[in-house]
Structure 1
């Protein structure tokens, strides 16, 4: 059975949520910011290996908080801490809005 999740995050299970229509002022600029992210998270936000989280469809608020925490050192990861350290507030918002605008779908086990 296929199911689409709304804007809420089911964090206890680590499931991404389909975001409500989050939009940035300049989607082309946001897409260009994803160049670095794509290496691990793909353009669609799906991790390129099992150790990389799927971020497509997560809420913009959640994604912004994680990037801000990496940037501030409240959360640490060898790659993400370095990448986030150079992001401005506007770039964080644009990236969060971009990945939140992706509709994630999941298939429940039968």
Structure 2
């Protein structure tokens, strides 16, 4: 039993290390934002599903915030069906790359 526990602890430490090693690449992220720009790239855009709401511009937002938001959608902690579907299609590396890309974009606070 002690050996099994030790193996589980060891395996868990490798997973944590692997997740911590993911570094976002903004250049790679530029090729992965096609699904994002249709909503998040239009100033003042309002989506109508599942209800009418203003879609935030995410350029200049903190990479960590974007990563946390996408991981939250992926895990079901954030509730938006479209964003959940998009996040579920993304690997952890995709999420880090997209977050790094948007963090380097100029912020657009001119929401209408």
TM over 0.5: same fold? yes
Larger proportion of helix: 2
Moved segments of 4+, more than 6 Å: none
Q: Over alpha carbons, which structure has the higher Rg?
A: 2
Counterpart of 2:79 in 1: which secondary structure? coil
Q: Does 1:38 align with 2:41?
A: no
Select 2:82's aligned residue among 54, 74, 79.
79
Is there any run of 5+ residues in structure 2 with no aligned partner, and where? Answer: 1-22, 47-52
Is there any run of 5+ residues in structure 1 with no aligned partner, and where? Answer: 1-22
Q: 1:46 to 1:102 in 2, by over 3 A?
A: farther
When normalised by structure 1's length, the TM-score is: 0.65
In the alignment of these two chains, the number of paired residues is 82
1:20-35 equivalence runs, <5 A: 24-25=24-25, 27=27, 29-35=28-34
Q: CA deviation at 1:26?
A: 5.9
The Cα RMSD (Å) is 2.3
